[in-house]
Structure 1
């Protein structure tokens, strides 16, 4: 189970969970479409050289020589039509570029969210999320108290969590804040 704390550049943190990395990616992609995120930037794409050639109008590979797509000619000659190409603009920090090097879709999605948000915290297990509640360094950002209580509430609502965390964690956070 993944536990996510998203802290926007403006506004309050949002806490949510996903059963696994695939569900995390699907949820982020769905939300991105829902909020009408219009951009030429690509979160993640996996395509074959043949499919990309089709997008370009199916030119003969030799027609790519001397153009911006000459790299695709090289891929076609070295790897063939079924070579897998990857694109993830935030992850590679290179908008519009394809690579034959595999890119992990989960990591690309995290990179995308990191650019969109002020802070993102992702805990990959309930134990990691619980431990994070007690490490006040995780919550020293604008909206940290709301993020902490949101995660505590999310963990309380998780059937496998088994313990009431919210009030105890909030009291600890308030004690730490009072000492500083």
Structure 2
């Protein structure tokens, strides 16, 4: 499981969970102004050309899609290119790996307030028990309580209170 504790500037903290990376991506995208493929995508210059109805061997492609052909000239038609608009900027593609988790974390980080993401039950339990200073101590008891309620609801922790 993946857990998120939202720390709004005003109001009480809220916690939510995702079953796995796919569910996490779906939930982040559902509340994001960008499309899922703008948040994170992996594609090639060939994919881009194909999406525009052209092929690398099409003589008119270079004239109609010079930027895509320039990407292919620089990196090859089948080199993976990564897009993560919140992390890299709008429409930027790069060959260096951008993991989906990095892109999704960036998508959450641009929103108002703070967030704590825990990538496993163990990490979330540790945070609840005080291992994460962002929600440790008396001042953050509401955030820990929100996380606790998620952990209990998912039967990761027993309800001792």
TM range (shorter): 0.7 to 0.9
Which entry has the higher C-alpha Rg, 1 or 2? Answer: 1
Q: CA deviation at 1:42?
A: 2.8
Q: Which runs of 5+ in 1 are unaligned?
A: 168-180
Q: Which residue of 1 aligns with 2:62?
A: 61
Identify, as 1 or 2, the structure richer in helix.
1
Local SS of the residue matching 2:3: strand
Structure 2 unaligned residues grouped into runs of 5+: 55-59
CA contact (8 A) 2:87 2:103 kept: yes
Aligned position for 1:21: 21
* TM-score normalised by the chain length of structure 2: 0.75
1:154–1:63 distance in 2 versus 1, CA, 3 Å? closer
Asked whether the equivalents of residues 88 and 103 of structure 1 are also in contact (C-alpha less than 8 Å), the reply is yes
Deviation >4 Å, runs of 4+: 54-59, 62-65
State how far apart, in whole Å, the 1-side matches of 2:118 and 2:16 are.
11
CA RMSD across the alignment? 3.0
> How many residue pairs align between the two structures?
153
Aligned to 1:99: 94
Distance 2:157 2:110 in 1: 31
